[in-house]
C-alpha cells in the first residue's frame, strides 16, 4: 500500500492512497479531455469524466505523483460511471 501525504497552502495535510476510492467533484476538463477534480489542494485527473463537470463521483486513484494523481470513475461494484450527486 502506498500513501502520499500532501501539504496544502494552508498547511493542511491530505493523504492520497494509491488504489483508494474518494468522492470527488469534477470541476473542469483538461486538454486531453480528462476531468479535473481536487482533494484539498491536490489535483486529480479523472479519466473519462470530460462531460461530467459539476457532478460528484466515486473515483479510484490509479497513479500518485508529488503534486497530482490520476483516477478513474467507479461505482460500488467496481464498475465505472457511478454518479453520487
Q: Taking the model in full, what pTM does it have?
A: 0.73
**Domain-by-domain residue ranges, the chain?**
3-73
The reported pLDDT for the residue numbered 14 is: 66
CATH class of 3-73: mainly beta
> Which residues of the chain fall short of a pLDDT of 50?
2-13, 76-79, 85
The reported pLDDT for the residue numbered 27 is: 93
The reported pLDDT for the residue numbered 36 is: 94
Cα distances (Å, whole numbers) of residue 49 to 1, 4, 8, 14: 26, 24, 24, 23
The reported pLDDT for the residue numbered 71 is: 96
Amino acid at each position: 500500500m502506498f500513501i502520499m501525504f500532501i501539504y496544502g497552502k494552508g498547511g493542511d495535510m491530505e493523504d492520497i492512497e494509491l488504489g483508494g476510492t474518494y468522492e470527488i467533484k469534477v470541476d473542469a476538463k483538461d486538454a486531453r479531455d480528462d476531468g479535473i477534480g481536487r482533494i484539498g489542494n491536490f489535483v486529480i485527473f479523472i479519466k473519462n469524466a470530460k462531460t461530467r463537470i459539476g457532478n460528484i463521483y466515486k473515483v479510484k486513484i490509479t497513479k500518485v505523483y508529488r503534486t497530482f494523481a490520476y483516477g478513474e470513475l467507479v461505482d460500488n461494484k467496481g464498475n465505472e460511471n457511478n454518479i453520487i450527486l
